[in-house]
Amino acid sequence: MKDKPKIYNQDVLHHYQNPYNKGKLDDPDFSVTEENPNCGDRITLQLKLKGDEISKVKFDGHGCVLSIGAASILTQMVRGLSVGEASELTLDDLVDNMGNPPKMRRNCVSLSLDALKDALSEW
Ligand code: FES
C-alpha cells in the first residue's frame, strides 16, 4: 500500500508542540494579527526593532500544525535580520524551511508571513 503524502514533517510537528518565541512582547514596535477566514485560525506577530534590525519577535494565537509551526520557524528566521532583509523573505523561503508542505495548505503557512509583511509595510 502506498504511503499517504505527509502534510508536515517531524521538525514542523516539533515546532507546533514546542513553539519558539511564543508569547507577547512588553513594548512591541509593531503588532499585527492575521486570521484565516476559512478556519478562524489567528496569529498575532509582534516585532521590536533596534535601529533597522529586528531585535525581538514573538507570536501568539491558535491554529493548525502548519500555521503554528510556520510562525515558530519564521520567528527564528527573522530575528537579527534588517527590515530590508526580512521584507525580502518569500513564502518559498518559509516553505523550504518546513520540508515543503503541500501547495493546498500554503494559506496555513502564509498566515504569520502575511503578518510580518503587514508589520514591515508600516515601517
Ligand atoms: Fe487554519 Fe491551517 S487550518 S490556518
For the chain, the structural domain boundaries read 10-121
CA of 108 to the centre of ligand 1 (A): 5
Instruction: Give pTM, 2 decimals.
Output: 0.94
What is the structure's pLDDT at 6? 82
- Is pLDDT of 1 > 90? no
Say how far residue 82 (Cα) sits from the centre of its chain. 17
Residues with CB under 6 A from ligand 1: 36, 39, 41, 63-64, 66-67, 108, 111
Helix ranges, 18-82 (H): 65-78
Take atom 4 of ligand 1 and give the residue whose Cα is closest. Answer: 108
C-alpha cell at 107: 494559506
For 32-68, write each residue's pLDDT tens digit.
Answer: 999 999 999 999 999 999 999 999 999 999 999 999 9
Handedness of CA 3, 39, 101, 72 (dihedral sign): negative
CB neighbours of 55 closer than 8 A, spacing ≥ 6? Answer: 48, 49, 79, 80
CA of 85 to the centre of ligand 1 (A): 27
C-alpha cell at 2: 502506498
Architecture of domain 10-121: Alpha-Beta Complex (3.90)
For 62-100, write each residue's pLDDT tens digit.
Answer: 999 999 999 999 999 999 999 999 999 999 999 999 999
